[in-house]
Amino acid sequence: MAYRLSMKKKQILVSIHVLSLVAWLGGTICMLLLGFYMKGAENREQLYYTLSSMNVIDVSLLKYPALVTLLTGILLSIWTQWGLIKHYWVLVKWILTFVIIIFSIIVTSEAFAFLLETVDKIGFISLQNKDFQIAWLQTIWGASINIVAMIFMTFITYLKPFGKVKNKK
């Protein structure tokens, strides 16, 4: 028989999972809001300060909470009755979380790094740069997609739709 969590351990793990998701979601919302704020910057210092703030959020409220959410979600799936691939809603959450993390690493992080680098090189005029505009839009769309996905995953956690994965024997 597989390992099962005691009620107390499950509550602790669920609490860590929820808190990490809240940090991740909050950080993503902050990135989205600061991304819009950045577009209205009035000078180089305001633009650079906004991007620096976004960088702190990216490092502290996106990367680590996202990984903790993924890890605790996998542990909860394995160590409870839900299983990792027994129910479609768990499978959807696992895949979606993984896809969001990979998408953020590949697309959003690169776009954000480009924004910082461009402002560092050419300053306030960055706001008129076409490549800067494209990278800015990627960060806005990336944050928006992440927020929608996290809200969707929260709903399916409580609604538990889609049923069980069928065993093929």
Chain segment 28-52, per-residue pLDDT in tens: 999 999 999 999 999 999 999 999 9
Q: Rounded to an integer, what distance in angstroms lies between the CA atom of residue 95 and that of residue 145?
A: 15
**pLDDT, position 101:** 93
Least confident of 24-28, 147-151, 156-160, 162-166: 162-166
Model pTM score: 0.90
Confidence of residue 59 (pLDDT cuts 50, 70, 90): confident
Q: For residue 155, report the phi and psi dihedrals to the nearest 5 degrees.
A: -65, -45
Alpha carbon distance 109, 103 (integer Å): 9
What is the pLDDT, as a whole number, of residue 162?
86
Buried b (16+ CB within 10 A) or exposed e, 43-62: eeeebbebbeebeebbeebb
Cβ atoms within 10 Å of 36's Cβ, excluding its own = 12
pLDDT surpasses 80 at 167: no
Residues 143-157 have a mean pLDDT of 95
Task: HSE, CB side, 13 Å, CA atoms: give it for residue 57.
Answer: 21
